[in-house]
Each structure stands twice: as C-alpha cells, then as structure tokens.
Amino acid sequence: MKSLPPAVRNRLFRRALSFQPQAAVANGDHVYWDLLSPLTSKRYGASAEAEKIAGQFDRAGIVLGGDNETVLKRAVDPQIAPIYGVDFRSTPMFFIQDDHDYFDNDEATDDIVTFPQRISCCSSRERRS
C-alpha cells in the first residue's frame, strides 16, 4: 500500500499549477483498494492492514447510508483529500475513473475476471447458440 508520499505529490501538483493551467485532468487510478484481484488485493483492500484501517467492504451491500459508506470514506479520503486539498480551488479539475477506482484491478485468470464486472445480457439458451 505504498505510493509517493503526499508531500511529494503535493509538490509536483503545485509545480504544475505554477504554470497556471486553464484546467487539470486526473487520469484514473486515484484509489488503490483492490478487493478481489488475485494479484493485488492482498496488498491493498483485502489485506489485514486495510481491514484494520477501514473495515470490510460488503460488495453486495448498499454504499451510501450504511457500513460501506464508512469503509469507503476511510479507504478513499486519505488517498484523495491530502493529495488535492484546496490547491485546485481556482483550477477546474476533471477526474477520469479507471479500474482501481472501482476497488479492483482489471485482470483475468481461469478463476476470476475482476473488471469489468460480468453482466448477463441474455438467457442461457441464447448464450449457447
């Protein structure tokens, strides 16, 4: 669960802002809290350290208004708020979401496809044809 320290990231952003951009784009993978990924979940959201920090996220439960909201805030806030803070208050900021922002890495093994989530589009009879 290691990345550049917030102080280093803040310094990089403040340097970029010194050029007075008209807008800024944050290009995905803002949050690393993978829950199911066989390669990364044990280091991130499914690790003992992560559960101690934030609790356990119930993927079948509601997100807002329940225990998942608390877990979400504990997992995400430390990865976003200290990085962006109020530095961009005068610069429009556009966030693009990527795989990790949905709490998983986009990977597939013989046992699991973590992202995108599988969506059933048709009946089992239609899938066989």
- What tens digit of pLDDT does each residue of 39-93 get? 888 888 889 999 999 999 888 888 899 998 999 899 888 888 888 889 999 999 9
CA angle 73, 79, 81 (to 5 degrees): 75
- Please tell me the distance from the alpha carbon of residue 58 to that of residue 56, in angstroms, as a whole number: 6
- What tens digit of pLDDT does each residue of 92-117 get? 999 887 777 777 777 777 887 776 65
Q: Are 32 and 101 in contact (CB under 8 A)?
A: no
Confirm whether 103 is domain-assigned: yes
Q: How many domains is the chain partitioned into structurally?
A: 1
Q: Are 67 and 79 in contact (CB under 8 A)?
A: no
Q: Are 36 and 102 in contact (CB under 8 A)?
A: no
Confirm whether 1 is domain-assigned: no
Q: Which domain holds residue 57?
A: 6-128
Confirm whether 76 is domain-assigned: yes
